[in-house]
Amino acid sequence: MANPRERWIRLGLVLGTLAGVAFFLAQGAMALLGHALLAEGPDEEFRLPRAPAAHTAKKDPVPLLRRNIFDSATGDLTIVVQETAGADDEPATIGDGPIGKCDDSVRLVAAVVNPNRRDWSFAAIAEASGNTLLYREGLSVAGKKVLSIGSQGILLQPSGGPVCELTMFSLEPRSGVISQPKDDDEEDEDKPGRPPTREGAIPSSELEAGIKKISDTKFTVQRSLMDKLLENQGELMRSARIIPHEDNGKVVGVKLYGIRRNSLLGRLGLQNGDMLRTINGYDMTSPDKALEAYARLQSANNITVSAVRRGQATNIDYEISE
């Protein structure tokens, strides 16, 4: 029979073993409980509902319209859209009634409209003398102030009179004069397949005779043709679309679009997409400088056009011969 001391030792061993087992069981249970709480509890308690996927907006078509890779001759289509957007709008009114037509002392030949920069909008207006010059908003022609320039018409303010509208395609009254028989040269011009010559346009034969190509960047132009071009600036505006080119919000030149090889500018060595920087040193980034350059070219014997062609600087030289 064991003595009391041995019994206490045995009891202590049993209790110690039970205590160790209980400790490890408790530790394991707490680990399982903690894992369950951390793995599932927070997600179920704090999980926020996912927001529905945002609708992906369509890509902005403006860059594609500006590049117009399918028709480089037409160029920037955003301007065409903006110009034609108001074609069906009601006629503008000043005061109580609609605007009347201007008299026959002036005639609208062509217009270049930049809706984003009104100072780069020009109108080629022919006076009664037949000279066609470029005008901006705020300038005066034949005693009338140019108020607004649109793609199909302009508004003029005569001195002391009401505002009138000058449209590009207004019908001219018949003269009633009996036409004389045509000579052989006139009959040749009316042969099928040959497009009719626009009023005031310079014939192709005269352009071919007055412009001589020396190289791709050097030409000789007769003085008589040069004077006629400067007097009829509408011919220059009809031969291409002139659009200011901006870089970081600043105009750095004017780009030319729609140039045909046999057109006036095409014969002068300019190509579709060329960006003009200067003409005889006059900066083309300012409309005032551009008009000043046209005025100074009348007495120039040599003209140098600085342009950017396909990213490369290019100079085109013209010698004015008598």
- Residue 153's closest CA among 143, 142, 141, 167? 167
Predicted confidence at residue 162, as pLDDT, reads: 84
> Does residue 317 carry a pLDDT above 90?
yes
Residue 1 is assigned to a structural domain of this protein? no
Report which residue type is found at 291. Answer: L
Final residue of a domain: which of 167, 193, 213?
Answer: 167
Residues 146, 221: one domain? Answer: no
Residues paired with residue 219 on neighbouring β-strands, in sequence order? 213, 318
> Does residue 24 carry a pLDDT above 50?
yes
Q: Which residue has the higher pLDDT, 300 or 297?
A: 300
Residue 172 is assigned to a structural domain of this protein? no
Residue 119: which residues within 8 A CB-CB, separation 6 or more?
Answer: 136, 137, 287
Residues 236, 148: one domain? Answer: no
pLDDT, the chain, mean? 71
Residues 220, 275: one domain? Answer: yes
Residue 181 is assigned to a structural domain of this protein? no
Tokens of 57: 């907006």
273: CATH: 2.30.42.10
Residues 218, 153: one domain? Answer: no
Confidence of residue 14 (pLDDT cuts 50, 70, 90): confident
Point out the least confidently predicted range of 18-32, 256-270, 286-300: 286-300
Confidence of residue 195 (pLDDT cuts 50, 70, 90): very low
Residue 121 is assigned to a structural domain of this protein? yes
Residue 214 is assigned to a structural domain of this protein? yes
Residues 304, 209: one domain? Answer: yes
Q: Which residue has the higher pLDDT, 295 or 204?
A: 204
Query: Which of 104-118, 126-140, 208-222, 283-297 ranks highest by mean pLDDT?
Result: 208-222
Count: domains in the chain: 2
Point out the least confidently predicted range of 42-46, 267-271, 314-318: 42-46
Residues 215, 157: one domain? Answer: no
Predicted confidence at residue 247, as pLDDT, reads: 83
Residue 131: which residues within 8 A CB-CB, separation 6 or more?
Answer: 231, 232
Q: What are phi and psi of 290, to 5 degrees?
A: -65, -45
- Residue 239's closest CA among 254, 255, 226, 257? 257
Tokens of 143: 């005693």
Predicted confidence at residue 319, as pLDDT, reads: 92
What does the pLDDT average to over 80-109? Answer: 59
Determine contact, residues 219/212, Cβ cutoff 8 Å: yes
Residues 212, 317: one domain? Answer: yes
Give the C-alpha distances (Å, rounded to integers) separating 254 from 95, 236, 305.
37, 14, 12
Residue 31 is assigned to a structural domain of this protein? no
Measured distance CA(270)–CA(260) in Å, rounded? 9
Residue 118 is assigned to a structural domain of this protein? yes
Query: Which of 2-16, 160-174, 242-256, 281-295 ranks highest by mean pLDDT?
Result: 242-256
Per-residue pLDDT tens digits for 216-274: 999 999 988 888 877 766 666 667 777 788 888 788 888 888 888 888 888 999 998 89
Percentage with pLDDT > 90 across the chain: 10
Give the structural domain span for 123.
92-167
Per-residue pLDDT tens digits for 142-178: 888 888 887 668 888 888 788 888 886 654 443 434 3
Measured distance CA(132)–CA(142) in Å, rounded? 12
- Residue 286's closest CA among 260, 319, 252, 256? 252
Point out the least confidently predicted range of 119-133, 188-202, 217-231, 297-311: 188-202
- Residue 256's closest CA among 200, 210, 305? 305
End-to-end C-alpha distance for the chain, whole angstroms: 148
Final residue of a domain: which of 167, 182, 216?
Answer: 167
Residues 241, 148: one domain? Answer: no
Predicted confidence at residue 146, as pLDDT, reads: 86
Residues 114, 217: one domain? Answer: no
Residues 162, 227: one domain? Answer: no
Measured distance CA(179)–CA(64) in Å, rounded? 51
> Does residue 321 carry a pLDDT above 70?
yes
Residues 209, 309: one domain? Answer: yes
Global pTM? 0.46
Residue 22 is assigned to a structural domain of this protein? no
> Does residue 189 carry a pLDDT above 50?
no
Q: Which residue has the higher pLDDT, 48 or 259?
A: 259
Determine contact, residues 211/318, Cβ cutoff 8 Å: no
Final residue of a domain: which of 167, 186, 221?
Answer: 167
